[in-house]
Amino acid sequence: MRRLLPMALVVLLGVAVAFALGERYHHRIFTLVLVWATMGLAWNIISGYAGQTSFGHQAFFGIGAYVTVLLVVTARLSPWLGMLVGALAAVLAAVLIGLPTFRLAGIYFALATLAYPLIFRIVMDYLGYQEVSIPMVRDRPAAFMQFGDPRVYDLLALAALAGTLLLSDWIEGSRLGYALRALRANEQAAEAAGVDTFRAKMLAYMLSAAPAAVIGAIYAHAILFVVTPEAVFGVLVIVQTLVVCLVGGIGSKWGPLIGAVIMVPLSETLDATVGDRLPGIQGVVYGAALVVVTLFAPEGIYWRLHALRRRRPVGERAPAMAKPHAVAAPPGRASAAPGGTLLEVAGVSRAFLGLHALDDVSFTVRTGEVLGVIGPNGAGKTTLFNVLNGFLGPDAGDVRYRGESIVGLRPSAVCRRGIGRTFQVVRTFPQLTVLDNVMVGAFAHERATAAARERALAALETVGLTSRADDVPSGLTTLDLRLMELARCLASVPELILLDEPLAGLSRDGVETMAALVRRLRESGVTVVIIEHTMYAVVPLVDRLVVLDHGRRIAEGAPNDVVRDPTVIEAYLGKRWLRHADGLRA
Amino acid sequence: MLTVSGLSVSYGGLHAIVDASLAVGEGEFVTIVGPNGAGKTTLLRAIGGGVAPAAGRIEYRGADIGALRAHARARLGIAHVPEGRRVFPSMSVLENLEMGSFRPAARPQRAESLDVVYALFPVLRERRTQLAGSLSGGEQQMLAIGRALMARPDLLLLDEPSQGLGPRVVELIFEAIAAIRRARRLTILLVEQRVVEALELCDRGYVLETGRVVLVGERDTLLADPRVQHAYLGT
Amino acid sequence: MAAADLAQYVVTGLLVGGVYALMSIGLALIFGVMRVVNFAQGDFMMLGMYVTYFLALAGVDPLLGALVVIPPFFLLGVLVHRTLLVHVTGGGDAQRLMDAQLILTLGLSLIVTNGATMLLTPMPRGIRTAYATHAFAVGGLLLNQARSYAFAMALVLAAGVYVFLTRTDLGKALRAAADDPEAAAYQGIDVRAMHGLAFGVGIALVAAAGGLLATYHPIEPTVAVNFIVLMFVAVVLGGLGSIPGAFAGGLLIGLVQSLTLLVLPFQLQNVGVFVTFLLVLYLRPQGLFGRRLRAV
């Protein structure tokens, strides 16, 4: 409940301001602060938490306004109900827009979102809704959201703000929030950690469309009275939204509020005082705010303050590496018999632009073993992992896990089936603490935040990183980063772990620590496939080796035999070395 | 001519190079070998200016070039054949070569340089109007080397010229490197996985393993040292 | 009769499309070399229109004016790159940088649009020329003279850009920097300077296109809004960053706009354009003509 206290204070303060203000004009400014803060919060859900920059969020604002007002005009439906219809319509629109658009990445997403409000604008113009006035209802004004007292509009907007704050707060602490922040930081790593990124983005989009529609409807009744396409679908709507979010700070529920409290009164006052003489002053101020913020404080006010508060003296920390603990056996899943086939790779081929990265590769992974995959540069090792965990589909062949084909599954689904992976270059979620990073993985099987935290802490304990739980990844050593990534993977309770060069960049000590951990994992019944170049470490660590060269499997067997295999030596050092080495020996 | 001391490079929290030092004398051919992941490419990129080191000093002809951006180093006469060829795919072969002689010191001799490169790699002349992106891997490698020669460099950095190429093409490339070496007493720093081919060409070599220099020596010493194989295969 | 109508629509569309093509290649050049989507591109076009307008008041023919604006706008572009964009390009987290670039250029666009409103008033203005109201009659087709001249000049300027990019060392260096910035730097090409050059040329081109547009289109501070989206569409149609692609995309938009009139009422003219845009984004994000994304 302590979490709710600041929000309660904001609401109380809002009520106090609503009753303290006298002039109608001041109420108007106050209502506008609340409107843009709410709209900013709505945008923040998809573009802040989820990081999908939308330049078309006014589409939902406008849908809310138009649907509500048109229902009053045509059907005499109370805006209190109409608002809900508007919100539903906006959510539906979000689904229809999101379905094709979330397949696009980065710049394409931002560009595509531009088009929708423009289309709505043109269509509204065409349908003859260039100017829709809200009809005065004299008999039951309250039922039609028409009030003489400006305080009521303040409170109405305040209620919308409070609701959106609560929604944002819930998202921040929920499984969805973790999923969104993870995918914002690194979409592939999030997928590999079990986050269905498409579903998470879609949910966030729907949740951000509804409050935008509600506040659009309130804006129409409190401020506009006459709804025009320009006023609700226009560029200025998204600009005000962006400005309050960027100035205040993206990705936190307080940012848009802070931004609105500063920017809206400033621009309104300027508009009122010099707006007659300088008609574009508001736009210039907003534009200047965007430029200045981008250049000098790209993180926004909230995060600046946040960083100041967090800058506490760095105390003595326990050494990061405690003794690794035993891994709890994955619960809730019948463990396969040791020695049986866990994963079967059958005739897998994959080509890029005619180049065979994988060429008819077959091998099996037995339950409980540590299997090493080695090979020179460009042998296709990482491509193999990408096929195994679902990042890539094979051109031919099949991958069977516990007897079932996993080809075509999303990486998140592969992860939830029990195959975890790490990356050659550690993929962290930099804004999240170590614990939160690991919790993203824990959510693969836990819905509740508390349970996920528990599981994440256990995984951190396993790798010996408990003392670093509250740090952010940027301060970690290479070894700690690799351990954190492994903990994230373990938190998703994998049965099979794919480790992509886990020893790269580690010192000898680090290599020992990691190798010891891998052995412990095997003892606890986890199966491990490991890509590695650090041969002195990998040979004693693995039970078997598979060697790839130019996308083909050239050798397989016991490690000490494989590294003496002439084919393998040739692949690594060339035919000449082989002859040369024979000469040396002779 | 080139002195690297105490160089460390890390990205994404990973230490790719740890405290590496090496020297290349005027007219010398130095090879760096080591298994992949050893940090060879990162070392070369740090010298060329493609990545910023976390620590260390890079001196070229007695001057610290650590603060110079990549293009400024290129203008001093350091030509870099990057890993993976990195030709300009949407430009023709000829245009790629012309870009090699972009640096003002090389521009006036463009026509002669072009003749030299065409003599070395006749296939480039045949394909001069073709888009570089449509060349085969071996031809792209020839183009990348040719492009570097167009700069009339004093120091040539060669990064994994054999990578991803078939055995016959590899032979051709190494022959070309040997020919370049014979024709002009160019200073060359070569990074390679293929031990024997690379070491046989050089005067001196370094063996890199997991970001550290583990072995230094003259060509013949290294070729006879079983620790080279150990660095690759642990045996 | 219907065939003649169709031909008239096609010709009208192509004439308008020529100017769209010129403004779009500026945007494509900037994106191709810098990977920056410049929201303020339309505003520089608007400024180009105004400068041409004031030159016309001083007696300079707008077709000449459109050429005169090129050098000062080139310098303006270089200056904007030096002072603003250089801080949000080159190195760093790609997603963050992209957001920063979009927001920065959006802010710039707001300042320019509204600054122009403040200084020049929202009143629409126009340049009166003899050729704006006359048409060439070619085999039964009517070609508005202003649009025909503008089209011809746009073609000449676009050809000039093409020659610059394919025949000069500097132009080739620009393409090299777009193809592979790191490899370009290894050839001694100063990639940051290439960014400045690309931005300067891109701005100069769109300003010139504005000057041409001013011969037949009303001039007002908010004129950018309609055109910036058309430019985006053209650039996406052509495959982000491809200059010949953007040129073809611009022509195509003119055609789509014109042909939309055959089936939809005038107010919905741009719906055809936006729908084409979304379809291309969804079905062929690499553009109608491009095979690769990274190509100028």
Interface of C with A in 92-151 (CB under 8 A): 94-96, 98-100, 102-104, 106-118, 121-122
Residue C43 has pLDDT above 90, yes or no: yes
Q: Degrees (nearest 5) of the Cα angle C47, C50, C54?
A: 140
Q: What is the mean pLDDT of residues C35-57?
A: 95
Q: For the CA atoms of A99, A103, A106, A109, what is the dihedral angle to 10 degrees?
A: -30
Confidence of residue A497 (pLDDT cuts 50, 70, 90): very high
Q: pLDDT band at residue A334, thresholds of 50, 70 and 90?
A: low
User: Does the pLDDT value for residue A111 go beyond 70?
Assistant: yes
CA distances from C215 to A277, C133, C136, C150, C219 (A): 30, 10, 16, 8, 10
* Distance in Å, alpha carbon of A482 to nearest chain C alpha carbon: 21
Q: Does position A329 have pLDDT exceeding 70, yes or no?
A: no
> What pLDDT score does A314 carry?
43
C-alpha angle A427-A433-A434 in degrees, rounded to nearest 5: 65
Chain B neighbours, 3+ Cβ pairs < 8 A = A, C
Subunits with 3+ C-beta pairs closer than 8 A to C: A, B
Name chain B contacts of C293, Cβ cutoff 8 Å: none
Cβ contacts (< 8 Å) between C184 and chain B: which residues?
71, 88, 99
At residue C96, does pLDDT exceed 90? Answer: no
Contact A584 B37 (CB under 8 A): no
Q: pLDDT tens across A203-257, in order? A: 999 999 999 999 999 999 999 999 999 999 998 899 999 999 999 999 999 999 9
CB A423 within 8 A of CB A415: no
- Quick one: DSSP state of residue A420? E
CB A503 within 8 A of CB A427: no
Asked if the model's pLDDT at residue A576 lies above 90, the reply is no
Q: Which residues of B touch A560 (CB under 8 A)?
A: 235
pLDDT higher at C94 or B20? B20
Closest residue in C to B86 (Cα–Cα): C183
Contact indicator for A334, A402 with CB cutoff of 8 Å? no
Mean pLDDT of C40-69: 96
Residue B99 to residue C294, Cβ atoms within 8 A = no
A439-466 per-position pLDDT tens digit:
999 999 899 999 999 999 999 999 999 9
The confidence score (pLDDT) of residue B211 equals 83
Residue that wins the pLDDT comparison between A528 and A271: A528
Instruction: With beta carbons under 8 A apart, name residues in chain C contacting B95.
Output: 172, 175
To the nearest whole Å, the CA of A378 is away from the closest chain B CA by 7
Instruction: Answer whether A533 sits within 8 Å of B38, measured CB to CB.
Output: yes
Give the pTM: 0.89
pLDDT of A507 above 80: no
| B28-63 confidence digits (pLDDT tens) | 999 999 877 778 899 999 999 999 999 999 999 999
Strands (DSSP E) found in A5-134: 132-133
CA distances from B91 to B86, B98, B135, C181, C186 (A): 12, 10, 11, 14, 16
Give the span between the Cα atoms of A197 and A432, in whole angstroms. 17
Say yes or no to pLDDT of A158 above 90: yes
**A199 SS3 class:** helix
Q: Specify which residues C143 forms β-bridges with.
A: C136
How far apart CA B5 and CA B23 sit, in angstroms, is 8
Which letter does DSSP use for residue A281 in this model?
Answer: H
Counting Cβ atoms within 10 Å, is residue A273 exposed (0-12), middle (13-18) or buried (19+)? exposed
Report the mean per-residue pLDDT for chain B: 91
- Of the pLDDT bands very low, low, confident and very high (cuts 50, 70, 90), residue A370 is very high
Per residue in B163-214, pLDDT (tens digit) is: 878 778 888 999 999 999 988 789 999 998 888 888 989 999 999 887 888 8
Give the pLDDT score at A328.
47
For residue A499, pLDDT beyond 80:
yes
pLDDT of residue A345: 95
In angstroms, the Cα distances linking C266 to A127, A394, C270 are 13, 49, 9
Q: What pLDDT score does A330 carry?
A: 46
Residue C295 sits at the chain B interface (C-beta within 8 Å): yes
Going by pLDDT thresholds of 50, 70 and 90, the confidence category of residue A339 is: confident
Residue A274's pLDDT is: 85
Terminal CA-CA length for chain C? 42
For range B209-224, the mean pLDDT: 88
Mean local confidence (pLDDT), B4-18: 83
The top-scoring range by mean pLDDT among A36-40, A347-351, B230-234, C93-97 is A36-40
Nearest-Cα residue of chain C relative to residue B144: C183
CA distance A384 to chain B (A): 17
Q: What is the pLDDT of residue A379?
A: 81
Q: Say yes or no to pLDDT of B217 above 60.
A: yes
How many whole angstroms separate alpha carbon A584 and alpha carbon A22? 97
Region of C293 (left: φ > 0; alpha: ψ -120 to 50; beta: rest) is alpha
Residue A569: which residues within 8 A CB-CB, separation 6 or more? A563, A577, A578, A581, B229, B233
What token pair was written down for A441?
A: 């993985």
The rounded mean pLDDT for chain A is 89
Q: Per-residue pLDDT tens for A271-327?
A: 888 888 888 888 899 999 999 998 988 888 998 888 887 655 444 344 444 444 444
**pLDDT number for residue A316:** 38
Q: In terms of pLDDT, which residue wins out, A146 or B36?
A: A146
Q: Which two tokens stand for residue C215?
A: 């011969």
In sequence order, the 6+-apart residues with CB closer than 8 A to the CB of A204 are: A45, A46, A49, A50, A52, A171, A176, A180
Q: Note the pLDDT of residue A584.
A: 63
What's the rounded mean pLDDT across residues A58-73? 97
CA C79/CA C236 separation, integer angstroms: 27
Q: Which residues of B touch A477 (CB under 8 A)?
A: 13
Specify the pLDDT at position C114.
Answer: 93
Minimum CA–CA partner of C235 in chain A: A111
pLDDT in tens, B23-36: 999 999 999 998 77
Q: Where in A432-471 does DSSP place strands (E)?
A: none
Which helix or strand (DSSP H or E) is residue A397 part of? strand A396-401
Which of A104, A242, A284 faces C118 most closely, judged by CB atoms?
A: A284
For the question of an ipTM over 0.90, the answer is yes
Q: Give the phi and the psi of residue A341 in degrees, each rounded to 5.
A: -80, 120
- Whether B235 shows a pLDDT value over 70: the answer reads no
Contacts of A164 (CB under 8 A, 6+ apart): A38, A41, A42, A211, A215
Pairwise CA distance, residues A77 & A584, whole Å: 94
User: What would the mean pLDDT of B107-127 be, rounded to a whole number?
Assistant: 96
Distance between CA atoms of C118 and C131, rounded to whole angstroms?
A: 31
Q: Are A476 and A500 in contact (CB under 8 A)?
A: no
Record: contact C118-A281, CB cut-off 8 A: yes
pLDDT at residue A564 is higher than 50: yes
* Angle (CA) A186 A189 A193, round 5°: 135
Mean per-residue pLDDT, A358-364: 94
The answer, yes or no, to whether residue A549 has pLDDT greater than 50, is: yes
Nearest to B50 among C175, C176, C182 (CB): C182
Nearest to C296 among B90, B103, B133 (CB): B90
CA distance A152 to A165: 20
- For residue range C256-292, what is the model confidence (pLDDT) as tens digits? 999 988 888 888 888 888 888 888 888 887 777 754 4
Give me the residues paired with residue A553 across strands: A548
* Rounded-to-integer distance, Cα A283 and Cα C106, Å: 11
Arithmetic mean of pLDDT, C127-154:
89
3-state helix/strand/coil string of chain B: CEEEEEEEEEECCEEEEEEEEEEECCCCEEEEECCCCCCHHHHHHHHHCCCCCCEEEEEECCEECCCCCHHHHHHCCEEEECCCCCCCCCCEHHHHHHHHCCCCCCHHHHHHHHHHHHHHCHHHHHCCCCEHHHCCHHHHHHHHHHHHHHCCCCEEEEECCCCCCCHHHHHHHHHHHHHHHHHCCCEEEEEECCHHHHHHHCCEEEEEECCEEEEEEEHHHHHCCCHHHHHHHCC
Residue entry with tokens 């050893």: B38
Q: Which residues on B lie below 8 Å from A563 (Cβ)?
A: 233-235
Q: How far apart are CA C147 and CA A542, in angstroms?
A: 74
Q: Are A413 and A166 in contact (CB under 8 A)?
A: no
Instruction: Give the dihedral sign, CA A294/A300/A305/A308.
Output: negative
Is residue C224 packed enough to be buried (19+ CB in 10 Å), middle (13-18) or exposed (0-12)? buried
For residue B223, the distance in angstroms to the closest alpha carbon of chain C comes to: 32
Chains in touch with A (3+ beta-carbon pairs under 8 Å) read: B, C
Nearest chain A residue to C111, by CA: A284
Determine the 3-state secondary structure of A56 from DSSP: coil
Report pLDDT for A130. Answer: 92
